[in-house]
Amino acid sequence: MKGSEVREMNDTVLAAKLAETKQELFSLRFQHATGQLEKTTQIGELRKDIARLNGEMRQREIAEAESE
């Protein structure tokens, strides 16, 4: 997921994508703990995606607070 893709999402899609990504990360962590995960780099990629989503949500919160 790229930053430009995240910026184009509206708030509801952004929140849904964040929840979906967190669930997927949980699943991958569980697979890693049981030794079933082959591509461990997926965990790092999902963590970065979550950080991008959280960052964009925070930027929108700040922008909204400043505009009031």
Find the CATH number of the domain harbouring 10: 1.10.287.310
To the question of pTM greater than 0.85 for the whole model, the response is: yes
**Residue 64: predicted pLDDT:** 93
pLDDT at 2 over 90: no
Domain that holds residue 23: 3-67
Asked if pLDDT for residue 3 goes beyond 90, the answer is: no
Q: pLDDT tens, 16-55?
A: 999 999 999 999 999 999 999 999 999 999 999 999 999 9
Number of domains into which the chain is organized: 1
- Which residues have a Cβ under 8 Å from the Cβ of 24 and sit 6 or more positions away? 46
Q: What is the pLDDT of residue 16?
A: 96
Q: Examine the pLDDT at 68 and tell me if it is beyond 90.
A: no
Angle of CA points 33, 1, 65, to nearest 5°: 105
